[in-house]
Structures are given as C-alpha cells and as structure tokens.
Structure 1
Amino acid sequence: MTKHKIYIMSFASVYPHYITKTERKGRTKTEVDEIIRWLTGYSQEELEAQLEKQTDFEIFFAEAPQLNPSTALIKGVVCGVRVEDIEEPTMQEIHYLDKLIDELAKAKALEKILRK
C-alpha cells in the first residue's frame, strides 16, 4: 500500500504555514510551538531539532516523546473529516495538529485548545 504523501512531507516545510495562518489572526509562533509541544511531548529544543533535520510527518510523530493523553478530547472536523473517526494513528495525529492550529487561528483561548 502506498503511503499518503503527507507522511513523507517534511514537517519543517508545513510549519511556516502554521505560523503564517495563526499570525494573520493575531496569534504568535510561541503559541503554535506550545500547541505542538503539548500534543507531542517534545521540548522546545527537540522541536527545533526536528525542524532542522527536516523530519517528515511520519517520523515526526513516531519520534514524539509522548502524545498527550488528552488527545481523546480533540473533536471536530478538519478538511471534511471528523478527527475522532480517523482510524490510522499517524493520520489522526496529523489531523489533531491541524485541528489545534485551526482553533488557535479562530481565536479560541489557549487554555481551551490545550483542553485544560
């Protein structure tokens, strides 16, 4: 079976788009990084190392220290797909991140985005 092309896409190539999308709505790179760290368990240094290595999405999530246990609370639709219904784990993790970035861009409070 052929892998979806997002799996082999460099996380670093998409990361600037996350920043741009949220900055246009008055949010910050720091908030984007906080969301990524919350979701994946990476430290800021580890996140920056992954970006520098041009790691693809599949490896980025496979090497994540620990997916946040509260990811089960992430619900909703991204690109017409309900994130909670996605069966393939890596694709679901990618959609979780997309959903969190969308919430940040829609001016949702960071505490709510991080399911506190």
Structure 2
Amino acid sequence: MDFNHLTASRIKEIRLERGLTAKAVAQQLALSDSAYSQVENGHTDITLPRIEALAKIFQVSISEMFPTINNGSHTYNGDNGVNVSNSSNHTINNFFADNDNISKVMEIIKGALVNKGK
C-alpha cells in the first residue's frame, strides 16, 4: 500500500474517532460526497492544503494526519516520532513529529508552489 492510501486510511480513522460522517466532512471541505469518498479511499492525491483543512476540521495537529507505519524494529508515527527497540540517532520521522518543523516545511513548499506559478 502506498503512502497516499495509508494517509487516506488515517483520515477515515480520525473521522470515525471524532464521530463525524463523511457527508459532514465533505460539506466542510466544499466537496461532493463522492469526491470526499475518493479522498478517503485513496483514489485521489491528498494535497498539503487538504491535509491542513482536514486537520482543522478534526481539531488535530497536522502530524496526527499521517499514518503510523510499522517497519521491523521501528514504529513511525506523526505524533511521537519514531519508537525504536534498539538505539538510534534522530530520524526524519523525529523531524516531522515536531509541528514547528512541519510548519516550516509547509511554508517552503507553499513558497515553491507560488513561485512555480509565476
């Protein structure tokens, strides 16, 4: 399963945890029910602006929007960074577990996208 599908599954998981219907979330995003269904099923690319909007709707940090991935001795998740069963230096997951770092990266990406359109 690719990262987009994993993120889509996480979005659905958070929505259900919050007791929200797909229809209610679709309305808040100004999407049709079927378009939102495509997001939750991983049939459409999930963009950073969409992640930001969903995080606001769900009232969670952006890092919580990303899936937990278990890879052998490491468990990666957006909320706690990396949990390691053996000693390890900081990883990129630790970097992205920090909301300040995520915000900085998102600003860089937004700047690049704005400049790309010029």
TM-score range relative to shorter protein: 0.3 to 0.5
Structure number with higher strand proportion: 2
With normalisation by structure 2, the TM-score equals 0.34
> RCO (CA 8 Å, sep 6+): is it higher in 1 or 2?
1
Given the two structures, how large is their TM-score scaled by the length of structure 1? 0.34
Richer in helix (by share): 1
